[in-house]
A and B are shown apart, each in its own frame.
Chain A
Amino acid sequence: MLTGYGYIALFLILAVAFAVGTAVIPIGLKRLKVIPSNPSAVKQDIFECGIPTIGKTWVQFNFRYYYYALVFLTIDVLVLFLYPWAVDLRSLGYPGLWAVLVLIAIIVIGYLYAWKKKALEWK
């Protein structure tokens, strides 16, 4: 019964090995001086189409896009949670339905609040 999990374990090892490998190999090569690294002021500077930047770039700019992204994120995560429920719908029966409805109600309240506060209008 346990053999089923063997493959997952193997896959886990491979994934971790790959992740750590891609992080460690460049550092190792840099230590071994294989990757040439001679940093200079211009190289660290901002690349803006070949011209030094004008004025200061750390400015406060309009916030509206961020609201939009947040509302999208909440609804997206909601859909993520609906997915396992939808797969096993029949056996969960009505108790499952009530639980999901509670979850959806919470998200919809938040959405209505954002809607009323005009977060979605593109000023």
Chain B
Amino acid sequence: MEIDQLKDIVTEADRAEGETIEAFKRRSLEPYPDPDEWLENNVITTNIDKLLNWARRSTIFPVVCFPACCAFEYIASNASRFDLSRFGMEIIRASPRQADLMITAGTLTWKLAPAVRRIYDQMAEPRWVIAMGACGISGGIFRSSYNVVPGYNRVVPVDVYVPGCPPRPEALIYGINLLQKKIARMHTKIEIPRPPMPGRMAAGK
């Protein structure tokens, strides 16, 4: 009894997935603007910021997002020869809860786009995205295909673009260094929560 009950739950899930993909395709026609609001206002970074940015940029854990060929260039840069752990990227985290960075190693198709968006949403702030490879930047060699998303910035805001097909491990490491420079200039506004004064609280509301 449960098995065929599950069968129609599964076909129902397939149909629902088809609709989310169609809706997603209609929604994402414009690329997301690249997040760089913290670069224009050349605000002074206080030493608290220096401490926070040093902590944030020194250990960035990437999430598993390996659709295609760039995955093996990424694994090669993680392996012992190009050793990404020199930059604090110790291991590839399988779940977005424990990751800060999404390296999009591979071609993005419309069927995968909602899953990538879901992974990005489930990552904890502050989070960053590196679009790796020509397919990540603009759909690359498959741009004219009916099923390829022309670039990850249609799905998630991208911080650093690493060109190449696949980019060499050194290029990826240079991209990560750029991201670390970008993080070093972040500024977090700290608000000291003032205890609510009894008199002024009513007026302030």
Query: Do A and B contact each other directly (Cβ–Cβ < 8 Å)?
Result: yes
A38 an interface residue at 8 Å Cβ cutoff? Answer: yes
Closest to A33 in B: B191
Chain B interface, >50% SS class: helix
Interface size class of A (residues with CB under 8 A): 10 to 19
B96 an interface residue at 8 Å Cβ cutoff? Answer: yes
Give the tally of cross-chain contacts (CB within 8 A).
Answer: 47
Q: Which stretch in A1-9, A42-50, A88-96, A97-105 binds the other chain?
A: A42-50
Is A45 a contact partner of B9 (Cβ separation < 8 A)?
no
Is B188 a contact partner of A45 (Cβ separation < 8 A)?
no
A34 an interface residue at 8 Å Cβ cutoff? Answer: yes
Q: Mark B27-60, 1 if CB is under 8 A from A, else 0.
A: 0000000000000000000000000100000000
A50 with B118, Cβ < 8 A, contacts A34-B188, A37-B125, A55-B9 known: yes
B119 an interface residue at 8 Å Cβ cutoff? Answer: yes
Inter-chain CA distance A49–B65, complex, in Å, is 10
Give chain B's interface residues, CB within 8 Å of chain A.
6, 9-10, 13, 17, 52, 95-97, 115-116, 118-119, 121-122, 125-126, 188-193
Give chain A's interface residues, CB within 8 Å of chain B.
31-38, 40, 42-43, 45, 47, 49-52, 54-55
